A = this chain, B = another copy of it.
Amino acid sequence: MNLDVYVVTDRSLAAGRPLLWVVEESLAGGAGVIQLREKDISTREFVELALRLKEITSRYGARLIINDRVDVALAVGADGVHLGQEDMPLQTARKILGPVLIGVSVATVAEAAAAAAGGADYLGVSAVFSTPTKKVATTVGLEGLRAIRKAVNLPLVAIGGINRDNAAEVVRAGADGLAVVSAVMAAASPRLAVAELLEQVKTARAKRRGEG
């Protein structure tokens, strides 16, 4: 799975542009994962939208991850689900889903260790920085990310306030990939925004390896 640039959808940030367009642009720019996050639509609309995204992500060889809704993931044959701490418990989701990808949002070493022990496939470390799109009481920060990196061996996707200016330091702190919402959803060119982030990730990873 290519987690380098992991795009989380938010239609409210797309400035009126169709979500399918933003998603396809992101994939053209090199995004390896699209996470579909929806809150205020009916299950039927969610399923229909997810089916459309599945078609596009498959065409680009990318993965489609559904946020929270295990039923929608099953309905469309998504590659996986992403679970927050307020979503379905990991073990329950695993029992229902079988061997698809399950990512879990974690903010602390304890949550990361629990998710790793529970069989998560990757972790979303959230929120690394504060972000205009989601009010967060506390942030994990680069220190927190480093601590989680030391504690678990799973792939880590960092999320929260990540953009091209801080991308390199986030990778150096141990992230395997960068999850972005507004930095891509609201970008004039989502394709360029993803391509730039991808470049940052690759350069920073090469440097990290060189130092390691």
- A interface vs B, CB < 8 Å? 42-45, 47, 68-72, 74-75, 85-89, 92-93, 96
Copies of this chain, tallied across the complex: 2
Give the residue name and chain of the B residue nearest to A45 (CB).
Answer: B86
Q: Which residues of B contact A71 (CB under 8 A)?
A: 69-72, 74, 88, 96
Assess whether A47 is in contact with B89, with CB atoms less than 8 Å apart.
yes
A-B contact pairs, 17 of them (CB 8 A): A43-B68, A43-B69, A43-B87, A44-B85, A44-B86, A44-B89, A47-B89, A47-B92, A70-B74, A70-B75, A71-B71, A71-B74, A71-B88, A71-B96, A75-B88, A75-B93, A75-B96
Give the residue name and chain of the B residue nearest to A68 (CB).
Answer: B43
Question: Distance (Å) between the CB of A36 and the closest chain B CB?
Answer: 15
Assess whether B87 is in contact with A42, with CB atoms less than 8 Å apart.
yes
Assess whether A88 is in contact with B47, with CB atoms less than 8 Å apart.
yes
Question: Distance (Å) between the CB of A52 and the closest chain B CB?
Answer: 15
Q: Which residues of B contact A87 (CB under 8 A)?
A: 42-44
- Return the 3 tightest CB-CB contacts between A and B, nearest first: A71-B71, A70-B71, A42-B86
Question: Distance (Å) between the CB of A108 and the closest chain B CB?
Answer: 17
Q: Which residues of B contact A75 (CB under 8 A)?
A: 70, 88, 92-93, 96
Measured between alpha carbons, how far is A86 from B43 in the docked complex, in Å? 7
Question: Distance (Å) between the CB of A112 and the closest chain B CB?
Answer: 18
Question: Distance (Å) between the CB of A81 and the closest chain B CB?
Answer: 9
Measured between alpha carbons, how far is A92 from B86 in the docked complex, in Å? 26
Measured between alpha carbons, how far is A87 from B86 in the docked complex, in Å? 22
Measured between alpha carbons, how far is A69 from B88 in the docked complex, in Å? 12
Q: Can you add 14 more A-B contacts, CB < 8 Å, to A47-B89, A71-B88?
A: A43-B68, A43-B86, A43-B87, A44-B86, A44-B87, A44-B88, A44-B89, A47-B92, A69-B71, A70-B71, A70-B75, A71-B74, A75-B93, A75-B96
